[in-house]
Chain A
């Protein structure tokens, strides 16, 4: 033990240094937010509550019920039921997400060929029962209207979740079959 070390030990230099740091923080501005009274804007692209994209042209869900999201979902929390309507088109009868089981991996959004499902940046939801957090198609569409209104939703999807259908051509609205991408 050198003399220097000996003096440091006797006069509690290290402890004083630590206390000084603590003391300094008494006078610096606080980084802790007073949630929930004080809220921060979520980062763009953060993954929160699910929403089904509403097609502005038809006013209905964009989802065609291909089931890729459900196939991809690691926690198996998406349930889709489809049927045939009077015009022999495929319609989604039920699209349900068991939000409590979701792990927010957003594989569903990546898998979706049409950009029909999205994880919104809304993260504040809780409930006293499982039913409250069992989201049906109407509630999921309502989420879109509520959290992704106007152009926000489109930007969100384009910026963070480029739908796969852009790689192979999206069916034009109302068309039953997909158009091919023209060679350039």
Chain B
């Protein structure tokens, strides 16, 4: 700690920080245009100049380290005069089109000019007259307004790790643009929009929609991934017009990804359900709530009476609130007496929970978004958290910048592999072999504490299984060199602080609960705690949904029995989920759904599954109802009603309560507060039960190849997420559709050449289960022999190709590819 004096205030600050940082931490405002706490000091705007006693020249506070005994004046007449001149120089070039500029009102430059007074115009300079770049889908570049602070360029390359924008040129003609002036193609996170101190980068969906002072700002939790960022929503006339991050708000502290920033408009999808629908013949007709609920109540009652409560199942939703899911579980368990409650997470995070309980003996292992920071080695396993959990991914990139070694094992090139120290490019789905191989090396070389570990249950069987996975054998399976496997093992084992990151998701078929078990084995072998295994839950309320009781208990059926085996169920209640899009092998599911006597779908939009339903109930979406989400870290966050509900839609929990009443079951929830309290108590009870010290045990997993390629089906199909989408809800967003509107198939350049496939051409892709038509995206990001596609798009129908076998390592599919003439 050192002593400095700023504006006559004696302060004691940390050694090594800049004057600006010292002032900020003590609430002293120093104006600036190019500083951001996420970025390295730049010193480009000269607005933060301060007077240091004894110094001849003024110093820029953002780059000048505070030193013992410094006496600093931040607002002396001399400093003010210099700042005024800086503004005057900026305004020589900056256009005065504030009346048209969307930034006016929250523009840093405008605020400073207001504070320091409009400068007299002593200089005449040539203003830029470039046309705005309106070509990109979501971000518009207006270079005339740019003051070259390079914040956008820096946040894009330093912080987001993308580097899509550059400062091209030198001196006055410099422009911020993509490298060669092409259309901006990037992650569309929009961080550059928020960080721009002027209106040089603006959001296209919000362009000219409203002035900031017309907006009512409300905060809400994002409804996409498991990070649970806080969005600051701008609302006018009961409509959300924009979403942005605010420094200091929520766990994201001002960071957002493209989904959170642009994707909220799915709630205005024209597909939204406005009224209950009842199927008559093959057509739906509008119905009143009374009629629909009476019909559902009568049908469910008669099925229960005729076939018993176990003939009825329900599927919960990781998109719905804790209250909604709790109510569904209560309706099923207490109301109908059925334990058949499941969700799509059976393919994803529920598998991770199973792995946690087997290997660590714990019921839950919430992710910690800050966990990557301060680790020596971070091992990311066949996943890209910068896509699945973008704001969590930022912390991985930050850790890497701050000196962590980043090892990424992935079959394809991703942003993380580009930033990694080592990219282990293995064959998809061979992760378990790699992990076993690493353990083999560690055991072989004695890089672990044998005395401590050998007492752990299952050690001898682990030793027996792992013994076979010599680097040579692993090399054969994974396609990595033996040295690469050895190096990775040694690096990982020798690091004092280690971390493994591997989200499990229903949309990814290249890993499974077995992969998580193998990773847990590796960590237990090295004596690590469960917190070293980061498996962030996939969606906004995946964690909360599972905690609220959406999982089969007491002999209830899981989705595998409910959806893949016709005849087990007579009636199914689906809330906020479209199994036909999100779950594998959709043809089987379709058959099962068709075989049901009665299907109720409760959703915000018309889905593929809803088309097959007997009754469709319109639910209020995120933003239209109150509730709570629990993020991947187990943090319970309130979501608020910020706009009116669409049509006659109602919150899910309310529909279920009313349905209960129609069936003569009193679920006991009179108000939202009641149900929140009840759900809370339930979750707290569950957490208390799960408490306890970890009891580690080894559960060795052998590598099992899944659906190997043969002479007919020569390619391996890997399903994955794309950055702009999250599940299939985001595919209803008009803004996100501007970036990615339909499914595509990534194929390696050489493979494409072999089939005479060009970019954008149509291809037919066939698996042993079905065939779909997709557009090709020729790329060198995927290796030869592998094709990759996102499953988000209902129109793509990818899950007609996929399968589910019970293999815990992966669910990969073998496919063949044909060009469509």
Residues of A within 8 A of B (CB): 64-68, 70-71, 80-84, 88, 90-91, 113-114, 167-169, 171, 176-183
- The 5 A-B residue pairs with the shortest CB-CB distance, nearest first, are A66-B99, A67-B211, A177-B95, A178-B96, A90-B208
Q: A88-B132, A180-B121, A181-B121 are in contact. Are A64 and B96 (CB under 8 A)?
A: no
> Which residues in B have their C-beta under 8 angstroms from that of A168?
96, 118
- Given known contacts A90-B208, A181-B121, is B96 in contact with A66 (CB within 8 Å)? no
Chain A residue at smallest Cβ distance from B236:
A81
- Which of B124, B127, B208, B214 sits near A83, CB closer than 8 Å? B208
Measured CB to CB, the closest approach of chain B to A116, in angstroms, equals 10
Contacting A at CB under 8 A, from B194-249, are 207-211, 213-214
**Digit string of B685-713 for contact with A (CB within 8 Å is 1, else 0)?**
00000000000000000000000000000
B182 near A: Cβ within 8 Å?
A: no
* Chain B residues with CB under 8 A of A64: 99-100
B208 in contact with A84 (CB, 8 Å): yes
Contacts of A67 in B (CB 8 A): 211, 213-214
Q: Which residues of B contact A171 (CB under 8 A)?
A: 97
* Interface contact A66-B121, CB-CB below 8 Å: no
A128 to B564, CA, bound (A): 68
> Which residues from chain B contact A80 at a C-beta distance below 8 Å?
211, 214
**Complex: chain B residue closest to A82, CB-CB:** B208
Q: B95, B118, B134: which has the most chain A beta carbons within 10 Å? A: B95
**Is B766 engaged at the interface, CB distance under 8 Å to the other chain?**
no
Minimum CB–CB distance from B64 to chain A (whole Å) comes to: 33
Interchain nearest-CB distance for B146 vs A (Å):
12
Task: Determine the main DSSP class of A at the interface with B.
Answer: loop
Asked whether A82 lies within 8 Å of B95 as measured between CB atoms, the reply is no
Pairwise interchain contact A180-B99, C-beta atoms closer than 8 A: no
The chain B residues found within 8 Å of chain A, CB to CB, are 92, 95-100, 104-105, 118, 121-125, 127, 129, 132, 134, 144, 207-211, 213-214
Residues of A within 8 A of B124 (CB): 180, 182-183
Kindly list chain A residues whose C-beta atoms are within 8 Å of the C-beta of B121. 180-181, 183
Given the known A-B contacts A177-B127, A178-B95, are A66 and B208 also in contact in the complex, defined by CB atoms under 8 Å? no
Smallest CB gap from A90: residue in B = B208
- A82 contacts B209, C-beta separation under 8 Å: yes
**Residue numbers in B under 8 Å from A88 (CB-CB):** 132, 134
Q: Which residues of B have CB within 8 Å of A178?
A: 95-97
Expressed in whole angstroms, the Cα–Cα distance for A150 and B674 within the complex equals: 68
Which one, A70, A113, A179, contacts B214 given CB within 8 A? A70
Bound CA span A39–B505, Å: 80
Minimum distance in angstroms from A174 CB to a CB of chain B: 13
A177 touches B97 (CB 8 A): yes
6 A-B pairs with C-beta separation under 8 A:
A65-B99, A66-B100, A80-B211, A81-B210, A82-B209, A180-B125
Main secondary structure of the interface of B (DSSP, over half): loop
**Cβ of A113: which chain B residues have Cβ within 8 Å of it?**
99
Q: Which of chain A's residues has its CB closest to B124's CB?
A: A183
| In the complex with contacts A67-B214, A88-B132, A180-B209 CB distance below 8 A | no
A179 to B125, CA, bound (A): 11
| Chain A minimum-CB-distance residue to B123 | A183
Among A71, A82, A90, A114, contact of B213 (Cβ-Cβ < 8 Å) = A71
A66 and B104: CB pair below 8 A? yes
Contact present for B208 and A180 (CB under 8 Å): no
Residues of B contacting A83 with CB < 8 Å?
208-209
Contact between A66 and B214, CB atoms less than 8 A apart:
no
CA distance A157 to B521 in the complex (A): 80
CB distance from B63 to the nearest CB of A (A): 31
Nearest residue, chain B, Cβ from A177: B95
Smallest CB–CB gap between B608 and chain A, Å?
Answer: 34
Complex CA gap A33/B129 in Å reads 59
Q: Contact between B122 and A183 (Cβ–Cβ < 8 Å)?
A: yes
Rounded to whole angstroms, the CA-CA distance of A167 and B98 in the bound complex is 14
Min CB distance A108 to B, Å, is 14
Contacting pair A176 B97 (CB below 8 A): yes
Q: In the complex, how many angstroms separate the beta carbon of A120 from the nearest chain B beta carbon?
A: 23
Is B214 in contact with A180, judged by CB distance below 8 angstroms? Answer: no
Complex contact A68–B208 (CB within 8 A):
no
Report the Cα distance A68→B110, complex, angstroms. Answer: 14
Question: What residues of A have a CB within 8 angstroms of the CB of B125 in the complex?
Answer: 180
**Contact: B99 with A68, CB < 8 Å?**
yes
Contact A177 B214 (CB under 8 A): no
Give chain A residues whose Cβ lies under 8 Å from the Cβ of B118.
167-168
B211 touches A177 (CB 8 A): no
Residues on B with C-beta less than 8 A from A181 are 121
Closest to A171 in B: B97
A81, B100: Cα distance in complex, Å: 13
- Beyond the given pairs A84-B207, A178-B97, 16 more chain A to chain B contacts, judged by CB atoms under 8 angstroms and listed by A's residue number, are A64-B99, A66-B99, A66-B211, A70-B211, A71-B213, A83-B209, A88-B132, A91-B208, A168-B96, A168-B118, A171-B97, A176-B97, A176-B132, A177-B97, A180-B124, A180-B127
By a CB distance below 8 angstroms, the chain A residues around B210 are 81-82
Taking CB atoms, residues of chain A closer than 8 Å to B96 are 168-169, 178, 180
Q: Which residues of A contact B214 (CB under 8 A)?
A: 67, 70, 80
User: Which of A67, A80, A91 has most B Cβ within 10 Å?
Assistant: A67
In the complex formed, the residue of A with least CB distance to B104 is: A66
CA–CA, A65 to B101, complex, Å?
10
**B-chain residues with CB within 8 Å of residue A169 when the two chains form the complex:** 96
Cα(A108)–Cα(B97), bound, Å: 19
Residue of A nearest to B122 (CB): A183
What separation, in Å, do the CA atoms of A88 and B204 have in the docked complex? 10
Q: A177-B129, A183-B122 are in contact. Are A71 and B207 (CB under 8 A)?
A: no
Interchain CB contact (< 8 A) of B208 among A65, A70, A167: A65
Q: In the complex, which residue of chain B has the Cβ closest to the Cβ of A70?
A: B214
Least CB separation from A93: chain B residue: B208
Q: How far is the CA of A35 from the CA of B100 in the complex (A)?
A: 45
What's the least CB distance linking A95 to chain B, in Å? 13
B122 — which chain A residues lie within 8 A by C-beta? 183
Contacts A176-B97, A178-B96, A180-B96 known; A71 to B211 CB distance under 8 Å? yes
A180, B126: Cα distance in complex, Å:
9
Bound-state Cα–Cα, A20 to B317, Å: 94
- Find chain B residues with CB under 8 A from A84 CB: 207-208
Which A residues touch B144, using CB under 8 A? 177
- Chain A residues in 8 Å Cβ range of B127: 177, 179-180
Residue of B nearest to A91 (CB): B208
Residues on the B chain within 8 Å of A177, using CB: 95, 97, 127, 129, 144
**Which chain A positions have C-beta within 8 A of B98?**
66
List the B residue with the shortest CB-CB distance to A67: B211
Closest residue of B by beta carbon distance from A83: B208
Closest Cβ of chain A to B70, distance in Å, is 39
With CB as the reference atom, state the residue of chain B lying closest to A92.
B208
